[in-house]
Amino acid sequence: MNGSGPVYTTGNQSEDYKFGQNDGELLYFMDYKNVRIVILVSYLSTFLFGVLGNSLVLYIISYFSKVRTKSVANYYIWNLSLADLLFCFALPFFAFSTFTQHWPFGTVCCKLAYLLRDMNRFTSVFTLCALSIDR
């Protein structure tokens, strides 16, 4: 890290790279505070809109039987909305960690946050596959 030019990190703080080195890897540009602020704002806005929108979808499908019984696809949409809502609850932890470049929440919370993220990914893919097969 004693050269000129920006330093990139892969998320593993023990490995630092200079610009142009290891071009095949996905490198995250985290040295500039402006980039971290943009990421923080995008995470938090996704959290707010995600919680509001997905909660509204869950409420409408759950409490209005006419919407629920109109189509089987609404059950898939409800499942997708629940998975997205669970992911949204993990976003503030990722936002704080990205902004401060430190994870102070402990190992259990780290594993839980990444579990919610990965669970959302697989649930979304499989739900969309089931929805397309059903149609």
Look at residue 25 in the predicted model and tell me its pLDDT: 45
Is the pLDDT reported for residue 8 higher than 50?
Answer: no
Tokens linked to 110: 């780290």
CA-CA distance, 65 to 117, in Å (whole number)?
30
Is the pLDDT reported for residue 19 higher than 60?
Answer: no
What confidence category does residue 126 fall into, taking pLDDT thresholds of 50, 70 and 90? very high
Q: Are 95 and 43 in contact (CB under 8 A)?
A: yes
Query: Which is nearest to 82 in space by CA: 106, 108, 53?
Result: 53
Is the pLDDT reported for residue 38 higher than 80?
Answer: yes
pLDDT digits (tens, 9 = 90+) for 77-115: 999 999 999 899 989 998 888 888 888 989 999 999 898
Domain chopping of the chain, boundaries: 1-31, 42-134
pLDDT digits (tens, 9 = 90+) for 54-71: 999 999 988 888 877 777
How far is the CA of 87 from the CAs of 5, 64, 66, 106, 114, in angstroms?
36, 25, 28, 18, 9
